[in-house]
Structure 1
Amino acid sequence: MKTVQDIDALEALYDTASGAALTKVVHRLTPQYAKWINTSRFVVLTTVGPEGTDGSPRGDIDPVVRIVDDNTLMLPDWRGNNRIDSLRNIVRDGRVSLMFMVPGSSNVIRVNGTAVLTDDETVTSTFEQKTMHPKSVIVITVGEAYFQCAKAIMRSELWTGDAVAGLPTAGELIKEQQAEFDAKGYDDAYPDYAKDRMW
């Protein structure tokens, strides 16, 4: 298989980026970008560390991040599986990317920047939900933000396609690696687990 070995060869494959593709990039959250992000309840957080990269979906019942000012976002780390892969990466390498999505919208907002982690109770306590608060909060400094072309979501019919039947369940995915695992019991309990332990 032939591979692309340098930037000149890569750029030769593509046309020059359009003016709009370049001018859409902002280096702070403008009112319109802030309005869009403040509507999003779902984001994919991407980090990098010594072991490689990590992409982590994050969701909330409210806006998934808090906009502190036009250069700062806060993302609470709600209760999960305790792998803390993203958090380990941030502590060692602050580079992050975020991809915000809103159901029904074909646009995606991307933010690149740097992050630190805080467990300061004066911060974590401000995110209280159902008497619980996150153990830590990711504080992101915006380096750049821009919207992603809608073609990918339109092409995939992400919001308009029918639900796909026959996908493996979470329990079945675990059972594939652990033969004695009770996949059905896990899947049957999962709705209550998600409802009771989301924080």
Structure 2
Amino acid sequence: MAIIRDLSQLDALYGRADELSEAATVKVATRITPLYRKYLERAPFLALATVGPEGLDCSPRGDVPGFVRVAAPDTLLLPDRHGNNRVDSLRNIVRDPRVSLMFLIPGIGNAIRVNGRAQLDTDPALLASFAVDGRAPRSVMVIRVDQVYFQCARAIVRSGLWDPERRVDPASLPTPGEILAELSRGRVGGEDYDRTWPERAQQTLW
């Protein structure tokens, strides 16, 4: 193995940070610009990365486009919708506010990345403003933006992420029920879990 162990080795392989093209650096903004805002308001999905004493967490978040609200050029609001109640991301944020978000828009090659610091707000009026079908989130992440920039489309192009011809047949992969049953030695999961999940999910989307 030829492991890179210091930055000088990395710089020798990829070049120094100060040698980046202007396009690679000028795209980084310290606020939500009007053009970046257009992307964020059309995104129905993001991945949220956090860090805490137990380690790292990366959590998918999704809703109707615009579910992340641009409250100000330096502030995003992200409601915490119903999930499995592990709250790994929230536990991390309470102890370490650093967050990173990657927004994806179906059919669009560029991803939008946001780095910042978050805190959890439970103000009743704020929660009510995010209610869907009368159901409000239990908390809202208030994210102070440090950086926002687009990630070039190469990874999405290479992966064929939005190409219908490259969709995977779900039947070719294990189901969540099968995974749970294997890991729990049959205590949870199985066919009943998979069969009832769509109805459970529909009742608890928000």
TM-score normalised over the length of structure 1:
0.96
Q: Does residue 66 of structure 1 match 2:73? A: no
* Contact kept in structure 1, 2:100 and 2:116, CA below 8 Å: yes
Deviation digits for residues 117-153 of structure 1 (CA, Å, limit 9, x no counterpart)? 1111121111010110000000000000000010000
What is the match of residue 166 of structure 2?
Answer: 162
- 1:188 & 1:62 partners in 2: Cα distance? 29
- 1:64 & 1:55 partners in 2: Cα distance? 18
| Percent identity between the two aligned chains | 49
What is the match of residue 11 of structure 1?
Answer: 11
What is the match of residue 27 of structure 2?
Answer: 24
* Contact kept in structure 2, 1:171 and 1:186, CA below 8 Å: yes
- 1:182 & 1:83 partners in 2: Cα distance? 17
Q: 1:175 aligns with which of 153, 173, 181?
A: 181
C-alpha deviation, 1:182, in angstroms? 4.0
Q: 2:198 aligns with which of 169, 191, 199?
A: 191
* Contact kept in structure 1, 2:179 and 2:189, CA below 8 Å: no
- 1:124 & 1:108 partners in 2: Cα distance? 28
Q: What is the number of equivalent residue pairs in this alignment?
A: 199
C-alpha deviation, 1:50, in angstroms? 0.6
C-alpha deviation, 1:17, in angstroms? 2.0
- 2:190 & 2:20 partners in 1: Cα distance? 48
What is the match of residue 134 of structure 2?
Answer: 131
- 2:29 & 2:138 partners in 1: Cα distance? 31
SS in 2 for 1:104: coil
What is the match of residue 77 of structure 1?
Answer: 80
- 1:30 & 1:2 partners in 2: Cα distance? 42
What is the match of residue 89 of structure 1?
Answer: 92
TM-score normalised over the length of structure 2:
0.93
| Counterpart AA for 1:186 | Y
What is the match of residue 108 of structure 1?
Answer: 111
* Contact kept in structure 1, 2:176 and 2:189, CA below 8 Å: no
- Compare 183-192 and 125-134 and name the one that shifted more: 183-192
What is the match of residue 51 of structure 1?
Answer: 54
| Counterpart AA for 1:183 | G
Ranges of 4+ aligned residues in structure 1 off by more than 2 Å:
none
- Compare 4-13 and 98-107 and name the one that shifted more: 4-13
- 2:143 & 2:189 partners in 1: Cα distance? 39
- In the alignment, structure 2 segments of 5+ residues that lack a partner are none
